[in-house]
Structure 1
């Protein structure tokens, strides 16, 4: 429920440190998202914003280097809830808290937003959620649900702006992707499809590569990444191949190619359009200054 209209977003640093607590808002709306490093949680709990009904997200990196983790919750007693999570949950490193500048969120808002956000996060599949059962959709009057949908859309934008695109899939649907934006990596026992995006290179679900790998990646990031993807279930072994069970974002085309081919690779050359144009030719050599 987001759109591509221009927006002005303000990020306030209450302590002047860009690595510390950050407060983000779209200047024409009442929703704020506050990012709090775990080490600064005591400082946040002294702020008046911590005394509100809130929706919150706890983010942390996975120990196996695979998909990062998130826990989504809501509460009418934010100070007590976050203090409890600080004592009992180990995985998280940063909390992001969604509140209303006018203190107008109710428990009914928060319950619906928790359910809505958990469904959206699971659909996007960027993060492994720590919630367990998501429960059923809470009963919410239609006017209030409409408010919640607007709050969700604002939260979507602010979370992504702060570096947490939790509700955005790593790749656009194939139905919305022009054929010339799809790239292929193929050889004996290898059939990869992918997209070059603003964040990196996405290998698409159903792609498969060689189970065996060459000496050129032994001890290298590509070998370690292969093992992590197998351990997390992103890839599954099927006979002599390894198949992607879901879309996966790599930070470079070359790492994506090396993982799927099982050897050291230049992804700018290995990934080609269906007409045989390399990723390099399409995305780098074709750049023109107007």
Structure 2
């Protein structure tokens, strides 16, 4: 998706920032409406609830300890969301994001393609557990209509992220393949200066990570020590490591654990602690191919350029 400056307005129908919110690009006909589940009755009274659209049910998968999303489409949004609200099999969600057209120009064909595209992108991004499973087969869509749908999806993607739900945003994007730990091939990001690719090495293990604006992302295929220092077990890093093992993001392979997907950590040290199995200073442990530490690459560079005061 092309990044460019955009203006987004958010309308509060009831004046409550915690209630229903309506987001739209000022130059676009697509709207995304955020509906907290307890306020479903209010949405059913809105004319938008009778439109064709695509929707995203957002919540948490307690077993996997990850945010979850269910993506659907319908010709009558209010009716369909009300069915989900009453369905005991869909208890996980606590808010719905609904995408519609201000000009009522979305058709069922648009909606079916947007549903498929959304499931595909959410699975690719790996931030949320996608309750739908895989994306299934691509619906038959004429080339000209597919182009329209892709533009609509790009707008929805921006608005959904603006609402605080980065369902479609990869943790690390625009990737190139490079050799990873043990000769395995890893995909690492080649994003602009804001993102730095680095490695963390320990006894028999190696991890590749991207330092991003959100934190440190350890890439799928990286390896972490199987044993940990006893002092780390009761600490937050030790508990987080055990959580990753319990939910299957870290899987034992021989004498080390392998990351099964890209995993975001809030800090470089939180990430290196899990990899090395001990307390560590991530700013010093993560290094680029020339041996420069993350501290040199980001913090000292920021001070030198006057970014930090």
What TM-score range do you get, normalising by the shorter chain? over 0.9
Kindly indicate whether the alpha-carbon contact (under 8 Å) linking 2:75 and 2:108 is maintained by their aligned counterparts in 1.
Answer: yes
Aligned to 2:66, the other structure's residue is in SS state coil
TM-score by length of structure 2 reads 0.88
> Is the 2:205–2:223 Cα contact (8 Å) retained in structure 1?
yes
Q: Distance in 2 between matches of 1:133 and 1:183?
A: 31
Tell me which residue corresponds to 1:201: 216
Distance of 2:283 and 2:12 partners within structure 1? 39
Where structure 1 has 5 or more consecutive residues not aligned to the other structure, the ranges are none
The 3 A distance-change label for structure 1 pair 132 and 209 is closer
1:17 and 1:216 map into 2 onto residues whose CA distance is 46
Answer whether contact 1:209 1:260 (CA < 8 A) is retained. yes
- Note if contact 1:33-1:98 (Cα within 8 Å) is conserved in structure 2: yes
Quick one: distance in 2 between partners of 1:19 and 1:265? 39
Distance 2:38 2:281 in 1: 40
| Number of the residue aligned with 1:143 | 144
Distance 1:184 1:112 in 2: 39
For each residue in 1:53-76, what CA deviation from the matched residue of structure 2 results, as whole angstroms up to 9, or x when unmatched? 110001112214643211000011
Partner of 1:165: 166
The residue correspondences of 1:2-41 to structure 2 (distance < 5 A) are 2-41=1-40
Q: What is the distance in 1 between the residues matched to 2:140 and 2:252?
A: 43
Matches within 5 A, 1:35-114: 35-64=34-63, 66-88=65-87, 89-114=90-115
Per-residue deviation, 1:234: 1.8
Question: How big is the alpha-carbon RMSD for the aligned residues of Structure 1 and Structure 2?
Answer: 1.8
1:217 counterpart = 2:247: no
What's the counterpart of residue 261 of structure 1?
Answer: 276
How far does residue 21 in structure 1 lie from its aligned partner after superposition? 1.5
Aligned position for 1:244:
259
Further displaced range: 237-246 or 65-74: 65-74
1:197 deviation in Å? 0.5
Mean alpha-carbon deviation: is it higher for 172-181 or for 87-96?
172-181
TM-score by length of 1: 0.94
Q: In the alignment, is the contact (CA less than 8 A) between 2:52 and 2:100 conserved in 1?
A: yes
In the TM superposition, what is the alpha-carbon distance from 1:80 to its structure 2 partner? 1.5
| Structure 2 residue ranges without an equivalent (≥5) | 177-188
Using CA pairs under 8 Å that are at least 6 residues apart, name the structure with larger relative contact order, 1 or 2. 1
Contact 2:196 2:212 in 1 (8 A): no
SS of 1:11's equivalent in the other structure is strand
Q: Which runs of 4+ in 1 moved over 4 A?
A: none
* C-alpha separation in 2, matches of 1:186 and 1:8: 43
Question: Residues 109-128 of structure 1: matches in 2 within 5 Å?
Answer: 109-128=110-129
Contact 1:195-1:201 within 8 A present in 2 as well: yes
Q: Hey, what does 2:205 align to over in structure 1?
A: 190
Deviation of the 1:254 alpha carbon? 1.5
CA distance in 2, matches of 1:279, 1:15: 46
Decide whether aligned partners of structure 1 residues 102 and 53 sit closer, same or farther in structure 2, where only a CA change above 3 A counts. same
The count of residues paired between Structure 1 and Structure 2 equals: 289
Is 2:119–2:134's contact at 8 Å kept on the other side of the alignment? Answer: no
